[in-house]
């Protein structure tokens, strides 16, 4: 199954999925309303059956109404977007007191991750379900973007800066990510796989996998 923010597996992506469905519902209602009005007008005032009433050829009230209504819809969408951002902001603004800190970098065209015990993974992350994770990532060459749609929204990696990404995976499974910023000829091949494991399985992996690899 392709990665999708509509199948959230962490609190960092759930509000975004919720906003998407609200916006989609509003768009569907607007579409159906416009199409219904269009079909009704086309049937009711077809030139060969009924001429268009004079009040419909230059009605100031109607023109004001169909100017105000779209503006109100845009204001509603703006408010919903700000509310979603406000919900997400604390997730990215503060580091959990107890969290798994992983450092790494995205470079042309590979992802490198280093765990606290020294082990290294290439194009792969293994994380315990239910534990807060902090990624501190760098980009040593060009701009990249870390994106695992079901776990964390896209975050840009800017050369010369450290980007901190905080999230808590809540559903065990296999998730796919990518570099979401064009970074050169092999950009499309800069992929990664995230394994969210049950805590016991994660601890077993820590014990079996050699450190410093």
Asked if 170 and 129 count as a contact pair (C-beta separation under 8 A), the reply is yes
Q: Which of 29, 60, 93 is the last residue of a domain?
A: 93
For the chain, the average pLDDT equals 84
Q: Which of 93, 112, 145 is the last residue of a domain?
A: 93
pTM of the model: 0.70
3-state SS string over 67-101? HHHHHHHHHHHHHHHHHHHHHHHHHHHCCCCCCEE
Q: Tens digits of per-residue pLDDT, 20-76?
A: 888 899 889 989 988 888 888 777 767 655 565 665 566 677 778 888 888 998 899
C-alpha distance from residue 111 to each of 7, 39, 69, 147 (Å): 24, 53, 47, 12
Q: Tens digits of per-residue pLDDT, 184-206?
A: 899 999 999 999 999 999 999 88
Q: Tens digits of per-residue pLDDT, 73-129?
A: 889 989 988 888 877 766 665 555 557 899 999 999 999 999 988 889 999 999 999
Statement: residue 213 has pLDDT above 50:
no
CA triple 105-109-114, angle to 5 deg: 30
Tell whether 86 and 114 lie within a shared domain: no
Let me know if residue 190 belongs to a domain. yes
């Amino acid at each position: 199954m392709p990665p999708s923010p509509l199948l959230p597996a962490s609190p960092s992506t759930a509000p975004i999925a919720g906003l998407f469905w609200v916006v989609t519902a509003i768009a569907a209602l607007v579409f159906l309303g416009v199409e219904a009005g269009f079909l009704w007008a086309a049937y009711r005032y077809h030139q060969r059956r009924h001429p268009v009433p004079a009040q419909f050829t230059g009605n100031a009230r109607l023109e004001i109404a169909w100017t105000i209504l779209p503006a109100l819809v845009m204001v509603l969408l703006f408010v919903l977007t700000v509310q979603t951002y406000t919900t997400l902001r604390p997730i990215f603004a503060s580091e959990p007191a107890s969290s798994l800190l992983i450092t790494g970098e995205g470079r042309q065209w590979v992802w490198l991750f280093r765990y606290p015990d020294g082990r290294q993974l290439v194009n792969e992350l293994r994380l315990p379900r239910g534990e807060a994770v902090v990624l501190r990532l760098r980009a040593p060459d060009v701009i990249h973007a870390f994106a695992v749609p079901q776990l964390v929204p896209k975050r840009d990696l800017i050369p010369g800066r450290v980007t901190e990404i905080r999230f808590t995976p809540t559903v065990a499974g296999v998730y796919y990510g990518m570099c979401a910023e064009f970074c050169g000829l092999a950009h499309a091949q800069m992929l990664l796989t995230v394994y969210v494991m049950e805590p016991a399985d994660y601890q077993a992996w820590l014990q079996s996998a050699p450190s410093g690899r």
